[in-house]
Amino acid sequence: MSVETRIKRVTAPQIASRKGDTPVVALTAYTAPMAELVDAHADLILVGDSLGMVVHGLPSTIGVTVEMMILHGQAVVRGSRRAMVVVDMPFGSYEEGPEQAFRNAARIMGETGAGAVKLEGGSRMAPTIRFLTERGIPVMGHVGLLPQATHTLGGFKTQGRETDTWSRHLQDAVDVAEAGAFSIVVEGVVEPLAVRLTDAVSVPTIGIGASARCDGQILVLDDMLGQTARAPRFVRRFADLGAQADRAIADYAAAVRDRSFPGDDHVYR
């Protein structure tokens, strides 16, 4: 038996079992080559609808379609072998009701081979999450700042700055967990609230702009690699690939113009 056939992907129950244990390492990826790099280090790869802005240049995630998510989901599954792959359900693909959500989630999982889907929303989405999980579709929840709801929120605003909103956020997380989500992304909330959310639920919380005390962390890959011009405050730049790429492209252009490329080593005799 080859090494490749012995490798088994991380599953939803395995992620769920990490509550209070070694933090879950998660990153986004949208292409096969980047998925291969992430796969060697992460427990979970999210094919986020952030691809609309990061890859396709859209102003927000609202214009992302199911077909786009499937295309990138297929690439990420092909490029990875071990990490669990979760695919975002885009805006408009699940809000109508549980039946609509099931049809689109089943299509996404069937056509990509992903291990789960992720959808945004708290208590209002609990019936949909329960409907999906009872029918064999693992669901990752998402509470706090909801990028798909920025039009109603008035932009990307940190949640929980007013303590009188905490009870609502806590109820959102509890309801999502009790509905069957195997983990919950907690995005863009003040740290004390993120800690309270983590303590309140029985499944792992995956923080992004939240707290180191969450049960795991996720970042947009391009942000942490320094490939985006601007990044939110909560992002640490672990590399500066954008600047390196800019210098490399400038050097290439100069070499072409002064005819130093291609050189003798780059042509066939």
Q: What is the rounded CA–CA span in Å between residue 210 and residue 229?
A: 22
Written as six digits, the tokens of 240 are 């500066």
Catalytic residue at 67? no
Alpha helix ranges (H) inside the chain? 3-6, 12-16, 32-39, 51-54, 66-79, 98-112, 126-133, 150-153, 166-178, 191-200, 221-224, 241-257
Output the known binding site: 49-50, 88, 118, 120
Contact 118, 88 (CB under 8 A): yes
DSSP letter (8 states) at residue 155: S
Question: Which amino acid does the sequence have at 88?
Answer: D
Output the known binding site for Mg(2+): 49, 88, 120
Helix, strand, coil tally for the chain in percent (to 5): 45, 15, 40
R_g of the chain, CA atoms, integer Å: 20
Q: Out of 96, 162, 178, 187, which one is annotated catalytic?
A: 187
Output the known binding site for 3-methyl-2-oxobutanoate: 49-50, 88, 118
Task: Supply the residues annotated as catalytic.
Answer: 187
